[in-house]
């Protein structure tokens, strides 16, 4: 597969594709582990228990820092080796809520690459999470003017991509999803009949990791964001 000719519909993930995100959740988790100070469980073992809590709660409450704070509180209640006070829960919740005021740090190559792509193709931003929280990051990023459409959804699965393509009138043969998450960006887009471009992030959230499944021959794997210019 060589350089793709003609005007395309390029759909971009936001968190950990356009800007850093998971590193802030990891920092909050490290603070949580230090505060919990468990006598026997390692951070990896604590993470596994938190993952179980998040898998359940994400289906009910969705994603984002506020919901992460709820998950940390539940994890603390389950694992604390001392009597839990209100100030303990307020403390661990605050670790997550601090993420809400973090600056938006664009990934390397994004600021230089997107304007060139926007000149030649129609760009869409497609991100999952809490609507207000995600829109805040979109605005702070300064990238919104480059996109013809920005959408925040609760979950990014095959049906979500089919709905987006239908509502926006995308021709699947000329539509590509670009992101770092096999679970939310790559595999469901391919299942929906779209092309997909995988831009790995070394610290992708554990619950977003999955084996890439390409049964269509429309998967492109890049080393870095700026490599998009070689394809589009």
Residue span of the structural domain in which 175 resides: 9-18+105-230
What DSSP string describes 90-116? HHHHHHHHGGGGPPP-BPTTHHHHHHH
How many of the other CB atoms lie within 10 Å of CB of 48? 12
Q: What is the pLDDT of residue 47?
A: 92
142: left (phi over 0), alpha (psi -120 to 50) or beta: left
Pick from 138, 173, 178, 131: nearest CA to 152: 131
Interval 145-188: pLDDT, tens: 999 999 999 989 999 999 999 999 999 999 999 999 988 999 99
Pick from 228, 231, 216, 230: nearest CA to 108: 228
Using DSSP, state whether 43 is helix, strand or coil: helix
Residue predicted with more confidence, 143 or 57: 143
The pTM score is: 0.88
Q: Read off the CATH number of the domain in which 146 is found.
A: 3.40.50.1000
**Same domain, yes or no, for 37 and 125?**
no
User: Could you give the CA distance from residue 178 to residue 12 in angstroms, rounded to a whole number?
Assistant: 5
- What integer is the mean pLDDT of 186-200? 95
**Is the pLDDT reported for residue 105 higher than 90?**
yes
**Same domain, yes or no, for 89 and 145?**
no
Report the number of distinct structural domains present in the chain: 2
- What integer is the mean pLDDT of 97-122? 94
């Amino acid at each position: 597969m060589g350089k793709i000719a003609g005007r395309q519909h390029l759909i971009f993930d936001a968190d950990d594709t356009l800007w850093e995100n998971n590193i802030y959740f990891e920092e909050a988790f490290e603070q949580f582990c230090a505060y919990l100070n468990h006598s026997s469980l390692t951070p990896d073992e604590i993470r596994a228990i938190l993952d179980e809590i998040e898998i359940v709660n994400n289906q009910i409450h969705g994603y984002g820092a506020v919901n992460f704070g709820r998950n940390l509180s539940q994890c603390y209640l389950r694992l604390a080796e001392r009597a839990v006070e209100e100030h303990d829960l307020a403390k661990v919740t605050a670790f997550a809520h601090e993420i809400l005021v973090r600056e938006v740090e664009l990934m390397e190559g994004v600021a230089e690459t997107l304007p060139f792509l926007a000149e030649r193709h129609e760009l869409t931003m497609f991100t999952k999470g809490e609507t207000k929280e995600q829109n805040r990051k979109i605005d702070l990023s300064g990238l919104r003017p480059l996109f013809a459409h920005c959408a925040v959804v609760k979950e990014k699965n095959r049906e979500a991509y089919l709905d987006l393509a239908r509502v926006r009138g995308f021709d699947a043969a000329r539509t590509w999803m670009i992101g770092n998450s096999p679970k939310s960006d790559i595999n469901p887009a391919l299942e929906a009949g779209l092309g997909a471009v995988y831009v790995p992030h070394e610290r992708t959230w554990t619950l977003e990791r999955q084996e890439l499944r390409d049964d269509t021959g429309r998967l492109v794997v890049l080393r870095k964001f700026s490599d998009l210019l070689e394809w589009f």
